[in-house]
Amino acid sequence: GTHSTKTISEVSRTGRIPWNQMGIRRARHGTLCGPQFRGGATMYGPKPQSHVIKLNKKV
């Protein structure tokens, strides 16, 4: 299969911290590329893989 989704390291977004960690009373996040954000990565999505079953020569 050649279907694929983008992981957090492949998403084209900024790596800047979205807001300050202290004093804003929001959850701590390191980047907006995470799967919980719109336009972010996809967790456990499909990736290109080979479905060929390898057998030994004797088999």
Q: How many residues does the chain have?
A: 59
State residue 24's pLDDT score. 92
Judged against a pLDDT cut of 90, whether residue 15 lies above it is answered with no
State residue 38's pLDDT score. 93
Q: Which domain holds residue 22?
A: 1-59
Count of structural domains, the chain: 1
Look up residue 24 and give its two tokens: 């804003």
Look up residue 29 and give its two tokens: 């996040």
Q: What is the DSSP letter of 22?
A: S
| Predicted TM-score of the model (pTM) | 0.71
Look at residue 51 and give its three-state secondary structure: coil
- Provide mean pLDDT across the span 12-20: 91
- Provide mean pLDDT across the span 32-46: 94
